């Protein structure tokens, strides 16, 4: 793995309705991220936070079932520029959310450097909605669809018109809440999904082994997009859209350790940490622990 890491915070809360997720980057830093990764001998620079526009209209006003569309497009474009530059100078982008809408910016920035970018989407949700299929109008439920080129033009054209990723380069792990339109899209596009059912039956070891095998030959870089709500709410209470029956603490550490061993992860983001909903920064600390495993902590 790249020994240079560049951290970028994205205090974005416009992709959903719960206040507080904009404080995620601070909470993750406060949980000791830089110290933890420095111990692992990484050369880590913290670039601070992207500036996110504040909406002019009262918060929560809908725009064609795309709440805060313009501000999100602008903020994620800024993130795309940063991520593009970080990869350009040979460093590993580590993005801290903020709600999951920021993945549109991360993937857009990355896409300039990879012909076949792989994506591991560790999440309770598919985030494959469009304005038509979304039950909520919340853009944090749409970033994976947008990155495939499906969605509002203002979002799909962030940092370039082309789709940022291909459906066959995606693996979703931990899904247990998929809307009807998302299921249709998954079938139509042939997206690989390990729902909780598969994780229960196969075990995380096989899920990651298969995912690594699947992505190995078809991709030239792999981004890990980790939504903390992929984990069970008992482990990660500080999230805005918790879903029962999630991935355990140990399964998640095992996944991160195996991804480290694969050597294939070229960028990562940790999103949806909401300190207001959290218990004594438990979820942010969990995120930092998972980063430790992803970046190679081991007892031997």
Catalytic residue among 22, 71, 123, 269: 123
- Report the interhelical angle of 69-88 vs 103-111 (nearest 10°): 40
Q: Output b/e per residue, 22-31; b: 16+ Cβ within 10 A.
A: bbbbbbbbeb
Task: Give CA–CA dist 212/265, Å, rounded.
Answer: 10
* Active-site annotation holds for 229: yes
82 binds Mn ion (CB under 5 A): no
Binding-site residue ranges? 100, 123, 125, 127, 227, 229
Whether residue 177 contacts residue 243, with contact meaning beta carbons closer than 8 Å, is answered with yes
* Active-site annotation holds for 179: no
179: partner contacted, choices ligand ARG, Mn ion, none (Cβ within 5-8 A by kind): ligand ARG
Task: Give CA–CA dist 68/206, Å, rounded.
Answer: 40
Catalytic residue among 127, 182, 251, 269: 127
* Active-site annotation holds for 125: yes
Segment lying near Mn ion (by CB under 5 A), choices 17-25, 160-168, 228-236, 283-291: 228-236
Catalytic residue among 71, 269, 272, 278: 272
| Cβ-based burial of 219 (10 A; exposed 0-12, middle 13-18, buried ≥19) | buried
Helices (H), 13-92: 24-30, 33-39, 69-88
The count of residues interacting with ligand ARG (CB under 6 A) is: 15
Interface with ligand ARG in residues 126-165 (CB under 6 A): 127, 129, 134-136, 138, 140-141
Q: How far are the Cα atoms of 170, 182, 236, 237 from residue 246, in angstroms, in the given order?
A: 20, 19, 10, 11
Looking at 49, 84, 229, 251, which residue binds ligand ARG (CB under 6 A)? 229
Q: How far is the CB of 278 from Mn ion (least distance, A)?
A: 16
Interface with Mn ion in residues 106-145 (CB under 5 A): 123-125, 127
297 binds ligand ARG (CB under 6 A): no
Whether residue 203 contacts residue 246, with contact meaning beta carbons closer than 8 Å, is answered with no
Whether residue 188 contacts residue 170, with contact meaning beta carbons closer than 8 Å, is answered with no
User: Which residue's CB comes closest to ligand ARG?
Assistant: 141
Pairing mode of beta strands 43-49, 192-195: unpaired
Site string for ligand ARG, 93-132 (x = CB under 6 A): -------x------------------------x-x-x---
In DSSP terms, 172 is beta-bridged to 121, 193
Task: Give CA–CA dist 226/184, Å, rounded.
Answer: 23
Helix, strand, or coil (residue 45): strand
99 binds Mn ion (CB under 5 A): no
13: partner contacted, choices Mn ion, ligand ARG, none (Cβ within 5-8 A by kind): none
251 binds Mn ion (CB under 5 A): no
Interface with Mn ion in residues 183-202 (CB under 5 A): none
45 binds ligand ARG (CB under 6 A): no
Whether residue 8 contacts residue 50, with contact meaning beta carbons closer than 8 Å, is answered with yes
Q: What residues line the site for ligand ARG (CB under 6 A)?
A: 100, 125, 127, 129, 134-136, 138, 140-141, 179, 227, 229, 241, 272
Active site residues: 100, 123, 125, 127, 140, 227, 229, 272
Q: What residues line the site for Mn ion (CB under 5 A)?
A: 100, 123-125, 127, 227, 229
């Amino acid at each position: 793995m790249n020994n240079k890491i560049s951290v970028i915070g994205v205090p974005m809360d416009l992709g959903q309705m719960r206040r507080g997720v904009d404080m995620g980057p601070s909470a993750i830093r406060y949980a000791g991220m830089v110290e933890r990764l420095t111990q692992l001998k990484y050369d880590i620079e913290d670039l601070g936070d992207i500036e996110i526009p504040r909406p002019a209209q009262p918060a929560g006003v809908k725009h064609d079932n795309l709440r805060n569309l313009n501000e999100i497009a602008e903020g994620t474009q800024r993130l795309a520029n940063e991520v593009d530059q970080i990869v350009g100078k040979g460093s590993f982008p580590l993005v801290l959310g903020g709600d999951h809408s920021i993945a549109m910016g991360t993937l857009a920035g990355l896409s300039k450097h990879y012909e076949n970018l792989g994506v591991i989407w560790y999440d309770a949700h598919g985030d494959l909605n469009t304005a038509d299929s979304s039950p909520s109008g919340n853009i944090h439920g749409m970033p994976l669809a947008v990155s495939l080129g499906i969605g509002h033009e203002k979002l799909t054209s962030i940092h370039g018109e082309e789709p940022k990723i291909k459906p066959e380069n995606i693996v979703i792990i931990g899904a247990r809440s998929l809307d009807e339109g998302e299921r249709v899209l998954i079938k139509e596009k042939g997206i690989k999904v390990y729902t909780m059912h598969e994780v229960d039956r196969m075990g995380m070891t096989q899920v990651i082994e298969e995912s690594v095998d699947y992505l190995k030959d078809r991709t030239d870089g792999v981004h890990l997009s980790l939504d903390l709500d992929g984990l069970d709410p008992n482990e990660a209470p500080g999230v805005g859209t918790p879903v029962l029956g999630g991935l355990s603490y140990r399964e998640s550490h095992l996944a991160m350790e195996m991804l480290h061993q694969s050597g294939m992860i070229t960028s990562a983001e940790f999103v949806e940490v909401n300190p207001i909903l959290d218990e004594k920064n438990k979820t942010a600390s969990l995120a930092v622990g998972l980063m430790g495993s992803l970046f190679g902590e081991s007892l031997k």
